[in-house]
Amino acid sequence: MNDKIILIGMPGCGKTTIGKVLARELNYNFYDMDEYIEERNNKTIKEIFNKSEEEFRNLETKACEELINKKRVVISTGGGVITRDKNVEILKDGIIVFINRPLSMILEDVDVSNRPLLKGGKERLYKLYDERFLRYRKASHIEIVNEGFLRDTIDKLEEELKGRIKE
């Protein structure tokens, strides 16, 4: 039994939205890793990235180490958390769920202006998808396709988590 649920996936796949609802329904605490990093460092993700992506990745690893020690949590990670093997190893102490949303659906509604790694536009999203997709699959314990109604996706996820998590 586990009390840590970690959501991974592409930017715009629904990690935060799904995570908030799931945490509320399980009576768990919810953490958005990017918000956590911003609060802990008193800087926006964009400001941190302006310094360097390496700086952001170091802070992200530290956030993984801190958040994985919390009890009864749903953690929505940044899309690139899986780019460091160390992060995946840390997060394996929880149940890692890959929220797999079709790229065509992400492209319909993702706001690239607020995402530092997507400032190159939608072509950049295709490139990131190609680079990361297999890493998401390899890192995850559970894969949930998010292509319909939010409620259906959450119901599928809750069904997959039955018997694996502490109620």
Q: For residue 16, which of 35, 32, 40, 39 has the smallest C-alpha distance?
A: 32
Q: Where are the beta strands (DSSP E) in 77-163?
A: 95-100, 142-145
Rounded Cα distance, 52 and 29, in Å: 30
- Which pLDDT score, from 0 to 100, does residue 124 have? 77
Q: pLDDT tens across 50-79, in order?
A: 999 899 999 999 999 999 999 999 999 999
Rounded Cα distance, 60 and 37, in Å: 7
Rounded Cα distance, 55 and 144, in Å: 31
**pLDDT exceeds 70 at position 82:** yes
Q: pLDDT tens across 8-51, in order?
A: 999 889 999 999 999 999 999 999 999 999 999 999 998 998 99
Q: End-to-end distance of the chain based on CA atoms, in angstroms?
A: 9
Residue 72, Cβ density class (10 Å: 0-12 exposed, 13-18 middle, ≥19 buried): middle
- Cβ pair 137, 143 in contact under 8 A: yes
> What mean pLDDT is predicted for residues 139-152?
96
Containing 4, the helix (H) or strand (E) segment is strand 4-8
> What mean pLDDT is predicted for residues 79-83?
94
The torsion region of residue 133 among left (phi > 0), alpha (psi -120 to 50) and beta comes to alpha
∠ Cα 17 163 67 (to 5°): 50
- Which pLDDT score, from 0 to 100, does residue 166 have? 79
Q: What is the pTM of this model?
A: 0.92
Buried b (16+ CB within 10 A) or exposed e, 87-108: bbebbeebbbbbbbbebeebee
Identify the structural domains of the chain with CATH numbers, from first to last: 4-154 (3.40.50.300)
Q: pLDDT tens across 87-120, in order?
A: 999 999 999 999 999 988 887 776 655 555 556 6
Question: Whose structure tokens read 């536009």?
Answer: 121
The SS3 of residue 17 is: helix
